Amino acid sequence: MHAAATEVTASLPIAVSYLRYIPLAPLVGVLFHVALGYRLGRRAVGLVACAAVAVSFALAAKAFLTVLGSAAGTVVTDNVYQWLSSGEFTANVTFSVDALSSVMIMVVTGVGFLIHLYSIGYMAHEEDYARFFAYLNLFTAAMLVLVLADNLPLMFVGWEGVGLCSYLLIGFWYTDPEKASAGKKAFLVNRIGDAGFVLGAFTIFWALVDLGQGSLTFATINARAAELPAWASLAGALLLFVGATGKSAQIPLYVWLPDAMAGPTPVSALIHAATMVTAGVYMVARLHGLFEAAPAALQVVGIVGAATALLAATIGIAQTDIKKVLAYSTVSQLGYMFLALGVGAYGAGIFHVMTHAFFKALLFLGAGSVIHGLHDEQDIRRMGGVAQKMPITHATFALGVLAIAGVPGLSGFFSKDEILASAYAGGHFGLWICGVLGASITAFYMTRLYVLTFRGKFRGDHHKWDHAHESPIQMTLPLMVLAALAVVGGYVGVPEVLGGNNAFAEYLAPSVGHHQLGLAAGTELMLMGISVAAALTGIGLAWVMYSKGPDADLILKNKLGGLYQQMREAYNIDAVYDALVVQPLMRASDALWHSVDVRVIDGVANGTAAAVNSAGEGWRRWSTGNVQHYMLTVLVGVAALILALTLSSLIGVAG
């Protein structure tokens, strides 16, 4: 029984003019840092950076409350100016906030602010202070443009803007060549996705023009999606989804996210956990009309999501670097969100985006605090017992682990359970099983990470242990706030069966439609039981195995054999891509340059020059200086002429 998605209620626009300042404030911050940053010193830079995001947060809250307070389906819009107009194509800079984007801007500015605060402490002893905050503000501005845009071209501006910022921030410590190339890799893989995004936009645009209403605003696309020819909606949706896989690190374009850990940890928390990577999910949810018009595309989204969730989870088990584990966990959780979208539960997807933003940001910042405390030690096999030295980080990190594992009562449980229930309700049993399996693996590797880091005794060199200390207040405060959010965040969307009124889904209904589960209370509770059981088994198993130390990995290795090594090296997908794409490309361009350009075309050009030269040389030998040769030449010439004339006249006569 396929859950019917209710039609989106007509949107009632409220024209305002303050929305434009939400992305503008951080931009002003960027200008400030670039112009004056180096002269005014750290305190001013940190202050301005946080202030800018705070202003955005305040305005975002105002917009959120307006949407919350007014009737369902109201949209706060701010039409700034007409950016582009050529032939049938027009693109305006118009920002709009409806239920969906209000949630997103709150997450972006809220979590963003906390991470800015955290960065002041984390980057305290970094000399390129102003440059870091300039990039961070620029990123926030770009993300806000992406989320606030009301049409695809403007969203694309934000889309590539965040790609640029992630390139700059990943490669922040540019003196180290790996970090620089990690940044480049992120930008290029994103660019491949962006090319798909652009082609998808064109397909839809021209199809709409053929329908007579050429425009790329989301409202038009969702409204007219059903009337598009089948191939157009399918191709458009799939191409846009390619863009989404690039930005949100899904198979096959996820390879850049693990390398993105080369950037500073607050960057990983902000960009590669809370905000940028969710852009793809937001885009698919925003264009749900289009995806519904192409059920096959929706199916693909679901399958890719589930596959990514499972694959990334398996890799997560075997990682030894604390940030790599969290990176693969992000890829896996994003897989869950796309799984939700794939089964039509857009509300659940966005709910998981929100809760994930909270606990994943918390986990990353916690990891950052650990790394900061242990003086840049990132290998969990050389950690242990950090709980004694860093009580606050330990407590908050633990809460995060429980939340992500899906322990009942915490935010992760509510959002993940809703996704699994929707999958089951939608009849996608395969996806549901993957989901449950992924959930238990997630619980397993998160507990492994927690135990190896915080429990047992310290395995690293004692010098680091002696100097280990709790992080300063600017770092621990955001941790505590995020921990509170990770716990409380879930109660916004408590399902009816547990006595809640699922306020979150109700709130999002006007934007993305309300996905009624249509399950009997009994089955829903049974599903909940299964997912909780899966989580608890994962936690228990990991706790038992790893409480004695990292050698438990060896048990896994010999049990799983070669597979474990593969998981450790993330199935060396990078090597495969390198061999399949990068190397042939380089060899092709080298061959093209040398063979075609230099040898063929230049060959022809220089060849003709040489030919003319040698012809001249040939004739030069003819003038031997001997008078008689010249006379002979003349005589032969005359003879030839006479011969020709007589022959032609003979032929003429005969012919």
- Contacts of other proteins in 615-654 (CB under 8 A): 620-621, 623-629, 631-632, 635-636, 638-639, 642-643, 645-646, 649
Minimum CB distance to other proteins smaller for 213 or for 537: 213
Separation CA 62–CA 337 (nearest Å): 27
Residue 76 and residue 19 in contact, taking contact as beta carbons nearer than 8 Å: yes
Q: How far is CA 415 from CA 110, 497, 569, 581, in A?
A: 19, 14, 30, 38
CB of 178 to other proteins, least distance (A): 10
In the complex, what is the shortest distance from the CB of residue 196 to other proteins, in angstroms, rounded to a whole number? 8
**245 near other proteins (CB under 8 A):** no
CA 154 to chain centre: 17
Residue of 181, 299, 523, 566 that binds other proteins (CB under 8 A): 181
CB of 183 to other proteins, least distance (A): 8
Closer to other proteins at the Cβ: 226 or 521? 226
Are 346 and 515 spatial neighbours (Cβ–Cβ below 8 Å)?
A: yes
CB of 463 to other proteins, least distance (A): 27
Binding string, residues 132-171; x marks residues near other proteins by CB under 8 A: ---------------------x--xx-xxx--x--x---x
Q: Give, as ranges, the residues between 187 and 206 that touch other proteins (CB under 8 A).
A: 187-188, 191-192, 194-195, 198-199, 202-203, 205-206
Whether 109 and 67 have beta carbons less than 8 Å apart is answered as no
Largest Cα separation within the chain, whole Å, is 121
Shortest distance in whole angstroms from residue 12 CB to other proteins = 25
Closest CA to 385 of 399, 376, 373: 373
Query: What token pair was written down for 627?
Result: 């008078």
Which CB, 503 or 643, lies closer to other proteins?
A: 643
- What whole-number distance in Å separates Cα of residue 595 and Cα of residue 599? 5
- Report the distance separating Cα 168 and Cα 172, nearest Å: 6
Helix/strand/coil percentages in the chain, nearest 5 = 75, 5, 20
The phi, psi pair for 263, rounded to 5°, reads -75, 170
Q: How many CB atoms lie within 10 A of CB 338?
A: 29
Residue whose CB is less far from other proteins, 575 or 638: 638
Binding mask 26-55 for other proteins (x = CB under 8 A): --------x---------------------
CB of 638 to other proteins, least distance (A): 6
Q: What is d(CA 466, CA 391) in angstroms, rounded to the nearest whole number?
A: 16
Tell me the closest approach of the beta carbon of residue 452 to other proteins, in angstroms: 34
Cα angle for residues 622, 626, 631 (degrees, 5° grid): 80
- Find out whether the peptide bond into 295 is cis, omega within 30 degrees of 0: no
Residue of the chain from 90, 320, 523, 566 that contacts other proteins (CB under 8 A): 90
Strand partners, 90: 85
* Shortest separation between residue 625's beta carbon and other proteins, angstroms: 4
Nearer to other proteins, 615 or 635 (CB): 635
Helix axes 411-425, 391-405, angle to 10 degrees: 10
Contacts of other proteins in 306-335 (CB under 8 A)? none
Residue 153 in contact with residue 217, Cβ under 8 Å?
Answer: no
Q: How many CB atoms lie within 10 A of CB 4?
A: 12
Residues 209-238 that bind other proteins (CB under 8 A): 209-214
- Nearer to other proteins by C-beta: 2 or 594? 594
By CB under 8 A, name the one of 6, 35, 65, 174 that touches other proteins.
174
CB of 571 to other proteins, least distance (A): 24
Restricting to residues 441-470, which ones interact with other proteins according to CB under 8 A?
none
Size of the site for other proteins (CB under 8 A): 77
Closer to other proteins by CB, 124 or 199: give it: 199
Nearer to other proteins, 194 or 417 (CB): 194
Q: How far is the CB of 536 from other proteins (least distance, A)?
A: 46
- Our CB check for other proteins shows the closer of 176 and 461 to be 176
In the complex, what is the shortest distance from the CB of residue 644 to other proteins, in angstroms, rounded to a whole number?
9
**With respect to other proteins, which residue has the nearer C-beta, 86 or 613?**
86
Q: Which is nearer to other proteins, 5 or 201 (CB)?
A: 201
What is the closest distance, in whole angstroms, from the C-beta atom of residue 26 to other proteins in the complex? 14
List the alpha helices (DSSP H) in 287-428: 288-293, 295-317, 322-342, 346-373, 386-389, 391-405, 411-425
| 574 vs 189: CA distance, rounded Å | 12
Reading the block at residue 9, the tokens are 């209620």
- 483 close to 399: Cβ distance less than 8 angstroms: yes
Min separation Cβ 78 and other proteins, Å: 17
- Residue numbers 490-549 binding other proteins by CB under 8 A: none
Near other proteins in 555-594, by CB under 8 A? 585-586, 588-590, 592-593
Residue 211 and residue 227: Cα distance in Å, rounded? 8
Nearer to other proteins, 86 or 614 (CB): 86
Give Cα separations from 369 to 75, 310, 325, 390 (angstroms).
40, 28, 16, 9
Using the rule CB under 8 A, give the single segment among 80-88, 108-116, 272-280, 563-571 that binds other proteins. Answer: 80-88
